[in-house]
């Protein structure tokens, strides 16, 4: 059996752990299996750039961050775009899949990776997806690998910010990754005891936020607010993309936290500071939970390959491993429900969401 495997999209903790889990299991349960690792994601499949993986290649990579195969972003929107007489990127990948005589392609990635994997599946390739993203936004699964490590990193940073905020009696906005969904900001903010949590799913009111900061500051030395990078005010949410771009051009930085810092300094007269955590949330060794869940997901994927269960992506539901059909989940996003239990419980504890 000839299996191709690749890591695509943004990196995250646990990619190597999943790669290891899949390969170690496949080598043990399938006789004569060959596993080809494509370099830099779908680009490797397009360029036929790959290496044959051996048991030794994956033996000691459980703790290593990033991915030994490398990764790149290949925009889904461009997969079926035709330029002149040249074949589309999708067609090139399908042709190479056939030329390399692959029996299966395993894709480790997030939302965009899954959409492309679904296209490949529809075109006749045998594909198995493994759900990766620190955003935890893949539809149909309770958790994605990499998420909990990013929560640990972001929560730890917010807790450290609290001590300096207390020392200087300041207001801090800590920006957490999450352009479209707020799972990471919500979990990290709650784990770190943030006073307010601003996420894309719940638009905040600038005037009410300023009032909240003033009221909170009257009761304590500091105010720490966790802000998702995609958080929007109700005013911005009502704008068109063009209007929003023009509005943001008035600020020195397009960062959500730095924009809020400038606005709230002006409206409250207080010392406000912004910290953007950025890519630190995606790097380094995965936490113990992610090592465990990554190993499980990888091994489960190998079992799916052995029995020929293709056109699917692995999922975790109610602490059990299962799978969804790629065509059923590709293009769908799991968002934080504004009236969900977690948000409502946080509000009952006094956490402010900007409304």
Q: How far is CA 243 from CA 11, 103, 185, in A?
A: 32, 49, 26
Q: Helix, strand or coil for residue 65?
A: coil
Q: Are 178 and 50 in contact (CB under 8 A)?
A: no
135 is catalytic: yes
Q: How far is CA 262 from CA 92, 150, 254, 258, 270, in A?
A: 48, 27, 11, 6, 10
Q: Are 230 and 180 in contact (CB under 8 A)?
A: yes
Q: Are 162 and 317 in contact (CB under 8 A)?
A: no
Helix ranges, the chain (H) = 15-29, 42-47, 55-58, 89-99, 111-122, 147-168, 183-192, 206-217, 234-237, 241-248, 256-268, 288-307, 326-329, 341-348
How does strand 127-131 pair with strand 272-276? Answer: unpaired
Q: Torsion angle, CA of 154/254/167/185, rounded to 10 degrees?
A: -30
CA 81 to chain centre: 26
Measuring CA to CA, which residue among 105, 112, 142, 134 is closest to residue 312? 105
- Which residue out of 11, 40, 135, 137 is catalytically annotated? 135
Task: Classify residue 280 by its DSSP letter.
Answer: G
Q: Are 125 and 171 in contact (CB under 8 A)?
A: no
How does strand 34-38 pair with strand 50-53? Answer: antiparallel
Percent helix, strand and coil across the chain, each rounded to 5?
45, 20, 35
CA 18 to chain centre: 15
Indicate the helix (H) or strand (E) that contains 172: strand 171-176
Which residues are catalytic, by number? 135
């Amino acid at each position: 059996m000839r299996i191709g495997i690749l890591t695509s999209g943004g990196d995250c903790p646990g990619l190597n752990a999943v790669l290891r889990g899949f390969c170690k299991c496949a080598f043990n349960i399938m006789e004569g299996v060959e596993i080809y690792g494509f370099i830099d994601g779908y680009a490797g499949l397009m360029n036929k750039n790959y290496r044959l993986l051996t048991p030794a290649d994956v033996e000691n990579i459980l703790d290593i961050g990033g991915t030994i195969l490398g990764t790149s972003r290949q925009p889904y929107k461009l997969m079926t775009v035709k330029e002149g007489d040249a074949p589309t990127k999708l067609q090139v990948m399908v042709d190479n899949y056939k030329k390399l005589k692959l029996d299966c392609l395993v894709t480790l990635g997030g939302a965009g990776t899954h959409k492309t994997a679904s296209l490949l599946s529809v075109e006749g390739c045998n594909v198995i997806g493994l759900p990766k993203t620190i955003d935890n936004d893949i539809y149909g699964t309770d958790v994605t690998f990499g998420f909990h490590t990013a929560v640990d990193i972001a929560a730890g940073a917010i807790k450290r910010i609290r001590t300096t905020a207390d020392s200087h009696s300041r207001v801090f906005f800590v920006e957490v990754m999450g352009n479209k969904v707020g799972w990471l900001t919500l979990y990290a903010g709650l784990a770190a005891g943030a006073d307010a949590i601003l996420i894309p799913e719940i638009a905040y009111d600038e005037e009410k936020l300023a009032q909240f900061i003033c009221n909170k500051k009257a009761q304590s030395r500091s105010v720490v607010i966790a802000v998702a990078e995609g958080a929007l005010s109700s005013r911005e949410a009502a704008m068109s993309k063009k209007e929003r771009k023009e509005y943001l051009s008035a600020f020195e930085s397009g960062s959500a936290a730095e924009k809020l810092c400038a606005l709230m300094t002006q409206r409250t007269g207080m010392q406000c500071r912004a910290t953007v955590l950025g890519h630190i949330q995606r790097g380094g060794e995965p936490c113990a939970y992610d090592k465990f869940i990554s190993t499980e997901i990888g091994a489960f994927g190998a079992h799916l390959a052995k029995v020929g269960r293709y056109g699917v992506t692995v999922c975790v539901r109610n602490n059990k491993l299962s799978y969804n059909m790629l065509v059923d989940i590709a293009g769908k996003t799991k968002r934080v429900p504004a009236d969900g239990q977690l948000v409502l419980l946080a509000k009952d504890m006094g956490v402010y969401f900007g409304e």
